[in-house]
Amino acid sequence: MKRISLSRNVLAGFLSWLLPLGFTFALTPLIVHGLGAESYGLYALVMGFVAYSFTFNVGRAITKYIAAYRANQQTERVGEVLSTTLIINLVVGVLSAGGLALSADVLVTRVLKITPELQANARLAFYLAAVALLLTVISQVFNAVPQAVQRFDVYALITTCTGIVTIGGNGMLVWQGFGVKSLVAWNAFATGLSCAAYFIAARRLLPEARLTFRLKKDLLVGILRFSGAVIAYQVLANLLLLFERGWLTRTLGPAAVTFYVVPMTIAIYIHAFISSLTLVIFPLASEAGAQQDTARLHAIYTRAYKYISMLVLFLTVTLIIGSYQILFNWMGAEFARNSSKVLMIQAGVFGLIAWGIVAWQIADGIGHPGRNALLILSWIVIAVPLMLWLTPLLGIEGMAYGRLASALTIPFYIALTERLVFGKILWRFWLRTGWVLLLAGAVMAAAEWFLFYKLPAGWLWLIMSISVSGALYFGIIWTVGFLDREERAWLRQLATRLTNSLRAQNLSERIG
């Protein structure tokens, strides 16, 4: 089995985030304005049920178990893991899709209280979403395989193509005058394509794994024990997001969902970006945990947090300070007026969540997903009462404040994870890391504030402002020796790979 380098895996994860982001950023204004605020809000609500409801990803256990079995040379159990997990996901998928389809009418008329003129479209959209949901749950089994064997280039290729096909098809359909039903149907079709692609990739990456319909009792118990906590935190996180969109629809209408979800989409890309870079941590932590290599875990953890903290601070501060200008240039004046404060708040929310990803992946990797489930439970306990109280008073901003309050638990979660894994909080590491980032972040924030509000409006000036401020930020970090020699060398290697990849792509385009 070919195993590629860590830098190439990280690069693959980065590209799987960057390329779909470009398409999303370019086509979202067309889709939102083409559908209208109410219809787009309905689309975001329905697809939320596919992305965040009932998708209980038991497949994450595949990544853990295959990585651990391969590290301990127990390759004969790989096929048994795949087969057992596939059976579980098939049962979960059928029950979940059936439940969504059967509850469509109640959701539309009683729970969400969608306006009568949109109810027929909403009902059909939920039926189509049930199909997409079933395919999503099945796909989770096979998309875990490239991650387990650390072939993130394969995972990134399929993820990138699926994202581009989905958003590109959505844009084309709206341009041709189609509505919400067609977009949901297209999403189901794209999910089916990705499921087939992941299945083919899994067969090629693990040719020794044979799929059967036999359950191994010891694996079933182990997978369910590990996945029980994974399912718990997925269910809780999904319920929070669905409550968020459902309560907005019920109290303020579908248009409010649009003005909330569009800026939230930008903020979520902070989380998505960091997740794409840290996908490699989970299988690495699983291997180190299986071998009880605490020193390796410490190295993975601290090095990852250096890079991640540096990137999260840059992205979060930029979105907070530039919220109005970004929305004005991207979506127009109406969105900038209605949603810029939401973007500021959500940037803080998802910046904090992204900051916690490394600790999250480590906890999962060493077999403690229950800690993550407790974190999400704390979010619900904190956020839901605040959302119920603040949304009628402050509108969509009140909803965002509820999320922000829950995300403030992240620093405590990181500290508790460090005590679990290393027996202590890494105060010395955080003090050394924190003062450099605070200094560089303060200089960058001052530069962005001055440039954003002194230069004329427009993408050219906005990009130039971010580039100048970013150069100051990363220049300070580089100058004060925040990264050691080995870390700098790794970054140079990563930059070289990225440059070579882009050159190869441009050459192929010219030849083609």
* Average pLDDT of the segment spanning 485-506: 61
Q: Record the pTM.
A: 0.79
Position 495 confidence tier, pLDDT thresholds 50, 70, 90: low
User: Within a domain: residue 237?
Assistant: no
Asked if the structure places residue 415 within a domain, the reply is: no
pLDDT tier at 2 (50, 70, 90 boundaries)?
Answer: very low
- C-alpha dihedral (65, 66, 71, 76), degrees to nearest 10: 110
User: Model confidence over 377-428: pLDDT tens digits?
Assistant: 999 999 999 999 999 999 999 999 999 999 999 999 999 999 998 999 999 9
Q: Could you tell me how many helices (H) and strands (E) the chain has, helices first? A: 21, 0
Name the pLDDT band for 58 (thresholds 50, 70, 90).
Answer: low
Whether 267 is covered by a domain: the verdict is no
Q: Tokens 């955080």, residue?
A: 430
Return the ∠ at Cα 65 (arms to 82 and 86), rounded to 5°. Answer: 20
Report how many domains make up the chain: 1
Does residue 90 form part of some domain? yes
Q: Please indicate, yes or no, if residue 85 is contained in any of the structural domains.
A: yes
Segment 18-40, tens digit of pLDDT: 677 788 888 999 999 999 988 99
Structural domain for 38, as ranges:
1-215
Average pLDDT, rounded, for the chain: 84
Residue 67 lies in a domain: yes
DSSP state letter for 212: -
pLDDT for the residue 509: 37
Question: Per the domain annotation, does 294 fall within a domain?
Answer: no
Does any domain span residue 416? no
Q: Which amino acid type is present at position 329?
A: N
